[in-house]
Structure 1
Amino acid sequence: MTCLIKIRSLRENMSANEKKLADFVLENTGLIRDYSSQQLASAVGISQSSVVKFSQKLGYRGYPDLKMAIYESLSHEVTSTTNTAAGGASLRQKNAEELLFGLKQEAIETTVALNSKEKFDQAAGALRRAERVQVFGAGLSGLAARSLAYHLMLTGKAVVNEAEVLVQLAQADGLGKGGVFVVISETGEDSDAVALTQRAKSAGATVIAICRCGTSPVSLLSDIVLEALVDRGQTNLSSLLLAAAQQHLVDILVSRFN
C-alpha cells in the first residue's frame, strides 16, 4: 500500500487535526516538498508535534520519511495509473519530479551545514599536497569516487581508482606518508571499505572519509571525515539521496582543490 493510498484509507478513523493534515497532503501533494514540518503545521493550523505524530501514526519514523514516501507514492501513481489523459499524467509526473528535487536539495543543504569550512579546507589541502591519491567507493558511492578521481587526474595528480578490490589493497600498501586515501561509503561499515582504510592507514597515508553521518569503523579510522546526513527511512530513496549528498561533497572538494 502506497503512502497516499494509506492516508486515504485511514482518513475516516483519524482525529480532527489528523483529518486536516490528511486533506492538506492529499489536495496539495506536489507542494509538500517545499514545506518543513513547522511550515506544514502553520499551513494547516496545528502544532509541529502533531505533524510528527501524524507521520509516526502512518508508520514512518518522522516527517522527512513521510515526505520521501509521498514522492514514492506519486511515482507509483504515475507509472501504474490507467488514466490516459495526457494532461493529468503529465501533472503527476511533474509533481513527483519536483518533490524529488526538493528532497535532494534538502539532503544537500543539511549535509553542507553539517560540515565546517575547516573540514573542507583540511580535506582539499591534503589532496593538494598529496604525492599520490587513491580513491575507493563502495556501491552507489562508486559513482562519486570515479568523479573525484577523474577531476583529480585532470589536474595532473597521480590517482588510483581501480574497480578490483585486490588491486586496491595492493596499491594501498604502497601509499606511504605522502599519499592520501579517499574512501566513500554509504554506511562506513562495508567490509571492503574497512579493509582498504585499515591498509592505507597502516601504510602511513592520510585518510579522508565521505560517509553517512554517525560513528562507523571507517570514520573511526579516518583523519578527516566529511559526513552526509540523510534520514534512514523505510524507503529506497534514502540511498539515492545519500548518493546525491556525497556527490555534492565531492564537488565542493573539487572546487576548493582548483
Structure 2
Amino acid sequence: MSPLLKIRAERDQMSAIERRIADFLLENAHLLRDYSSQQLANALGISQSSVVKFSQKLGYKGYPDLKYSIGQAVARGDGGEEAGTGETRRDDPHAALAESLWHLKAQAEAETRLINPPERIDAIAHAIQQAGKVFIIGLGEDGIPARAFATRLSMLGVLTVHYVDAILMQAGVSTAAPGDVLMVFSEHGRQPSLCQISHLFRERVGKVVSVTRHTPNPLRAHANDALLVSAHDERRHIEPLLYQSALQHLLDLIFILLCDASEDRRMQLDVNFERMQDLLDS
C-alpha cells in the first residue's frame, strides 16, 4: 500500500503538527531523499521526535523506513503524482483537464476504499439486507445521493422510507423496529437535527449508519457504523466533485453486494426495470 495514499487517507484524523508533516511529505515526496529527520524537523519548525512519532504512527520503524517507502512509491508512480493515461488527441483542448480530474477522482476513491475496511462494508450491506425497513435522510445537497440510493434500494424490493425533511423523519422513525436501519447522509456531520434523529433511532434498537467525510463529527458519535469518504483538494470547486464521486463509488459497491447476496433481489430488480420500461413505452 502506498505510504502517500495512506497519509492522504488518514490526514483528517491527524493532529495539527502531524498534518504539517503530512502536507510537507505529500508536496515534496520527490525531494524527500535529501531530507534527514532533523532537516525535515528544522524545515517545519518542529522537534525531531515529532517526525519519528509520525513515522511510527503510520506503521514504520522510523523515519528512514518511511522515507525509503515513499521513495519507492514515487519511483513506481504509486503515490498520487500526476500521470497520463495514454495517448490523447492533440486537438482536444480538454484532454489534460479530463485526465487530471479522472486522476483526482481515482485517488479519492482509493483513499475512501482504504478507510472503509471490507468487514465494515459487509456488515452494513448485511444489515440492509436483513432490515425490515431502511430509513434514509439527507438534507440539502446531501439529499441527492440519499434519494438516489433510496431509489436503488426500492428497486431491489427493500422497504425504504426516504425523507428530505428532518421534522418528518423524526415522526417517521417512531415506527422503527428492532433490526431496522437508518442511513444518515451528511458530508460534515454537524446538523443537530440529524444527531437527534439518530439518537432517537438507536433508542428504538435500530441500527444507525452515518455517511460523512472522514473527519471527527457529532453524527459519527451517534452511529453504530460509519461510511467514510476521503476527498481533498484546495480548490473549492473541485473538492465537492471528488467527494460526490468517491461517495457514489462506495454506495455502488454496497448496491452490488446486495444484488450478489440474493437472487430474489436481482429478480425483483429485473421486474421493476421491466415495469419502468413498459411505463416509458406506453
Normalising by structure 1, what TM-score?
A: 0.64
Other structure's SS at 2:163 match: coil
Question: What is the CA-CA distance between 1:223 and the residue it aligns to?
Answer: 0.5
Question: What is the CA-CA distance between 1:176 and the residue it aligns to?
Answer: 2.3
Q: Which runs of 5+ in 2 are unaligned?
A: 1-25, 45-79, 83-88, 260-282
Q: In structure 2, how many angstroms separate the alpha carbons of the residues matched to 1:162 and 1:219?
A: 20
Letter of the aligned partner of 1:145 in structure 2?
Answer: A
Does 2:249 match 1:248? yes
Aligned pair partner of 1:47 in 14, 20, 32:
32
Does 2:209 match 1:205? no
Q: In structure 2, how many angstroms separate the alpha carbons of the residues matched to 1:244 and 1:108?
A: 7
Other structure's SS at 2:157 match: coil
Q: Write the deviation string for residues 87-122 of structure 1: whole angstroms up to 9, x where unpaired.
A: 98x644221122111111110111011111100111
Once the two structures are superposed, the pairs formed by residues 148-159 of structure 1 within 5 Å of their partners are: 148-159=149-160
Q: In structure 1, how many angstroms separate the alpha carbons of the residues matched to 2:34 and 2:225?
A: 36
Q: In structure 2, how many angstroms separate the alpha carbons of the residues matched to 1:232 and 1:48?
A: 25
Aligned position for 1:257: 258
Aligned position for 1:116: 117
Aligned position for 2:143: 142
Q: In structure 1, how many angstroms separate the alpha carbons of the residues matched to 2:188 and 2:138?
A: 11
Q: Write the deviation string for residues 36-87 of structure 1: whole angstroms up to 9, x where unpaired.
A: 8577x2xxxx43789x9xxx9xxxxxxxxxx9xx9xxxxxxxxxxxxxxxx9
Other structure's SS at 2:236 match: coil
Larger deviation: 127-136 or 159-168? 159-168
Q: In structure 2, how many angstroms separate the alpha carbons of the residues matched to 1:256 and 1:95?
A: 34
Aligned position for 2:73: none
**Paired residues of 2:232 and 2:242 also in contact (CA < 8 A):** no
**Paired residues of 1:183 and 1:208 also in contact (CA < 8 A):** yes
Cα distance 1:140–1:48, how it changes in 2: closer, same or farther (>3 A)?
farther
Q: In structure 1, how many angstroms separate the alpha carbons of the residues matched to 2:108 and 2:33?
A: 20
Letter of the aligned partner of 1:238 in structure 2?
Answer: E
Q: In structure 2, how many angstroms separate the alpha carbons of the residues matched to 1:241 and 1:96?
A: 14
Q: In structure 2, how many angstroms separate the alpha carbons of the residues matched to 1:222 and 1:165?
A: 17
Cα distance 1:232–1:202, how it changes in 2: closer, same or farther (>3 A)?
farther
Aligned position for 2:95: 94
Other structure's SS at 1:183 match: strand
Does 2:133 match 1:132? yes
Q: Give 4+ residue runs of structure 1 displaced > 6 Å after superposition.
A: none
Larger deviation: 106-115 or 226-235? 226-235
**Paired residues of 2:185 and 2:212 also in contact (CA < 8 A):** yes
Question: What is the CA-CA distance between 1:232 and the residue it aligns to?
Answer: 6.4
**Paired residues of 1:137 and 1:143 also in contact (CA < 8 A):** yes
Cα distance 1:225–1:48, how it changes in 2: closer, same or farther (>3 A)?
farther
Q: In structure 1, how many angstroms separate the alpha carbons of the residues matched to 2:165 and 2:216?
A: 27
Cα distance 1:173–1:49, how it changes in 2: closer, same or farther (>3 A)?
farther
Question: What is the CA-CA distance between 1:186 and the residue it aligns to?
Answer: 0.5
Question: What is the CA-CA distance between 1:129 and the residue it aligns to?
Answer: 0.6
Q: In structure 2, how many angstroms separate the alpha carbons of the residues matched to 1:213 and 1:230?
A: 9
**Paired residues of 1:139 and 1:185 also in contact (CA < 8 A):** no
**Paired residues of 1:211 and 1:228 also in contact (CA < 8 A):** yes
Letter of the aligned partner of 1:210 in structure 2?
Answer: V
Normalising by structure 2, what TM-score?
A: 0.59
Aligned position for 1:172: 173
Other structure's SS at 1:181 match: strand
Letter of the aligned partner of 1:247 in structure 2?
Answer: Q
**Paired residues of 1:132 and 1:159 also in contact (CA < 8 A):** yes
The count of corresponding residues between Structure 1 and Structure 2 is 185
Q: In structure 2, how many angstroms separate the alpha carbons of the residues matched to 1:120 and 1:37?
A: 32
**Paired residues of 1:107 and 1:241 also in contact (CA < 8 A):** yes
Q: Percent identity, aligned pairs only? A: 22
